[in-house]
């Protein structure tokens, strides 16, 4: 009888051990799941913050790019106006240099004739 009793106790202990192991495993799984949820939430929040930061930087770059395009267009208009003015001034300079040479010839011939 003793053997049967010992066997019965061992089977009860084995059953209890198995139930304890199942409960402990379930608890560990629950704790792991909870920790992963927290970690995933932190990661999601970090990713959202990074996304907002990147979006703000892109918006700022877009505004700066738009401003630079406007400045570039204004500079191109100014450059073309300056080119037109330069062309007019070069034409006037050419005409005035012709007149100056002509006047210089006239004056030198008068001075030559007066002497």
What average pLDDT values come out for the chain (115 residues) when binned by 10 residues? 65 77 89 81 86 95 95 94 95 94 84 66
How many whole angstroms separate alpha carbon 94 and alpha carbon 102? 12
Distance of CA 110 to the CA centre of its chain: 75
- Tell me, what's the pLDDT at 87? 95
Domain span at residue 18 reads 1-81
- Tell me, what's the pLDDT at 108? 82
Answer yes or no: is 69 within a domain: yes
Answer yes or no: is 89 within a domain: no
Answer yes or no: is 93 within a domain: no
- Tell me, what's the pLDDT at 98? 93
- Tell me, what's the pLDDT at 44? 83
H or E segment to which residue 20 belongs: helix 2-114
- Tell me, what's the pLDDT at 10? 67
Answer yes or no: is 102 within a domain: no
- Tell me, what's the pLDDT at 3? 60
Answer yes or no: is 105 within a domain: no
Number of domains in the chain: 1
> To 10 degrees, the CA torsion angle through 57, 58, 62, 67?
10
Answer yes or no: is 28 within a domain: yes
Answer yes or no: is 108 within a domain: no
Answer yes or no: is 96 within a domain: no
């Amino acid at each position: 009888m003793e053997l049967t009793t010992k066997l019965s106790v061992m089977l009860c202990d084995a059953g209890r051990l198995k139930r304890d192991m199942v409960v402990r495993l379930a608890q560990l799984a629950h704790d792991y799941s909870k920790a992963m949820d927290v970690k995933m939430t932190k990661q999601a929040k970090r990713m959202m913050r990074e996304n907002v930061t990147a979006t703000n930087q892109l918006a700022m770059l877009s505004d700066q790019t738009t401003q630079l395009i406007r400045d570039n267009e204004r500079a191109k208009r100014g450059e073309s106006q300056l080119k037109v003015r330069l062309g007019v001034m070069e034409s006037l300079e050419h005409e005035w240099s012709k007149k100056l040479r002509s006047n210089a010839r006239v004056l030198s011939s008068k001075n030559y004739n007066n002497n």
